[in-house]
Amino acid sequence: MSDTDANTLVDRVRDGDIRLHELEDHADADTAATARRRLVASETGVDLDVIGSYGFPADRADANIENMIGTAQVPMGVVGPVTVHGGAVDGERYLPMATTEGALVASVNRGCSVIDAAGGATARVTKSGMTRAPVFRVTDVAEAEALAGWVRDNEDRLREAAEATTNHGKLDDVTAYVVGDSVFIRFRFDTKDAMGMNMVTIATRAAAEVVETETPAALVALSGNLCSDKKPAAINAVEGRGRSVTADVSIPREVVEEHLHTTPEAVAEVNTRKNLVGSAKAGSLGFNAHVANVVAATFLATGQDAAQVVEGSNAITTAETRGGDLYVSVSLASLEVGTVGGGTKLPTQAEAIDLLGVAGGGDPPGSNADALAECVAAGALAGELSLLAALGSRHLSSAHESLGR
């Protein structure tokens, strides 16, 4: 790349010869990004030099961004190591977290140390499957009922059409929902180690074509919001989406008192009154303290779709005393993660996934994404434990003050 090349592109955009989004058609990705950044900087009067200081070739992000001008650099920290006894991961792991919220990593790290002092967290993926739910228009309720019956009777035909579009995805089940003259058909796929949103969208389109060919129904939208992607939804809390994963730990009383400076009873009461009663009064879909913090930070660090924090933080935290000790669990109903595809291929995110030991496709397929989900759940458990204890000991504000946040 040369300054002359970039400046020439800037002039061509200003002259109307080419459009801003067409720069990569006329130069390599780095030159295009530089030209675009210079044009925007000159027209806005804003210095974009830091945004333009990135540490990998711009073409590595071709599949992830359009109109690239640089990168947003978010500080990344690490918590742990924490021991996770999972179905797909077993042993100590460092958990990478990218965030701008001071005290978050310190708080989760404290929770990890307590979990380790108690022998580690247990974690399991209890259900998996990525969904897409197109909506069809029919004439009336009778036709809607007939379509729902047709779907039940022809699941094998829909599976054949859907699976013909992918080498990895498998259609697990199909369910029809009737609302007047609208019929929503919710497809759930096993996407192995991919988060799989693109995979299931393409596969569902093929299945929807069969529905239109074989029935009177007309496809209105390939996504009818019953999926439900990137929106708060009770169906995800109940039926799950992506990975449904739970982590728990039993902590001896002396560990709670020594490391958290509170008691099992205080932590359990805070959880009941805050996470359960308070959330119910608020009409919340999530019954937790701050699971979104850990989910968002690990998503940014490992290249997951950041918007899916909406579903990923749909979690319930429980806490109770057992024989004088403290039992805590966190259950994430719809954690959408993958270790291949999407942002996982970006250089810094790829390193973070490698740090967790779950890079690429797993053996057997799906095991790496399961392991990532279990690690995220363990981190969420650590975050819940630490915050509940801080509230129980009334140390929350002092912790932020001491860390200068």
238 located within any domain: no
User: How many domains, the chain?
Assistant: 3
What six digits make up the tokens of 253?
């009383």
User: What pLDDT score does 397 carry?
Assistant: 43
Residue 234 lies in a domain: no
| DSSP result, 34-51 | HHHHHHHHHHHT---TTT
Same-domain check for residues 316 and 276: yes
> Which of 85, 168, 261, 400 is an active site residue?
400
Active-site annotation holds for 400: yes
Distance of alpha carbon 332 from alpha carbon 295, whole angstroms? 10
Both 359 and 343 in a single domain?
yes
Instruction: Give SS3 for 185.
Output: strand
Q: How far apart are the first and last CA of the chain?
A: 42
User: Same domain, yes or no, for 116 and 139?
Assistant: no
16 domain residue, yes or no: yes
Cross-strand bridge partners of residue 85: 90, 122
254 touches 325 (CB < 8 A): no
Residue-level pLDDT at 393: 86
Crossing angle for the helix pair 367-392 and 291-302, to the nearest 10 degrees: 140
Q: Is 162 in the same domain as 306?
A: no
Return the CATH number at 186. 3.30.70.420
Alpha helix stretches (DSSP H) within 232-366: 234-239, 253-255, 264-270, 279-282, 291-302, 309-312, 347-356
Question: Is 370 marked active-site?
Answer: no
Residues 216, 250, single domain; the answer is no
Is 49 one of the annotated active-site residues of the chain?
no
Q: Please give the model's pTM, rounded to 2 decimal places.
A: 0.93
Domain that residue 263 falls in: 76-128+243-402
pLDDT of residue 169: 92
> Is 362 within the bounds of a domain?
yes
Nearest to 357 by CA among 129, 94, 40: 94
Q: Are residues 165 and 274 in the same domain?
A: no
Give kind and range of the element (H or E) at residue 81: strand 76-86
* Residue whose tokens read 């595809």: 341
**185 and 249 together in one domain:** no
pLDDT given at position 57: 93
Q: Are residues 304 and 370 in the same domain?
A: yes
Residue 237 lies in a domain: no
Which one of the listed residues 28, 59, 90, 101 is annotated catalytic? 101
**What is the residue-wise DSSP string for 203-262?**
HHHHHHHHHHHHSS-EEEES--SSS--SS--HHHHHH--EEEEEEEEEE-HHHIIIIISS
40 and 122 co-located in one domain = no
Q: What is the pLDDT of residue 396?
A: 53
| Pair (194, 272) in one structural domain | no
Residues constituting the chain: 405
Domain-embedded: residue 361: yes
Give me the CATH number covering residue 261: 3.90.770.10
Whether residues 93 and 138 fall in one domain: no
67 belongs to a structural domain: no
Q: Average pLDDT per run of 10 along the chain, which is 405 residues long?
A: 79 92 93 94 94 93 94 96 97 97 95 97 97 98 97 97 94 97 98 95 97 97 96 95 98 96 96 97 95 98 97 97 97 97 95 96 96 98 97 64 52
Catalytic residue selected from 305, 336, 374, 384? 305
305, 196 contact by CB (below 8 A): no
Indicate if 16 and 141 belong to the same structural domain.
no
Encoded tokens for 277: 């009663």
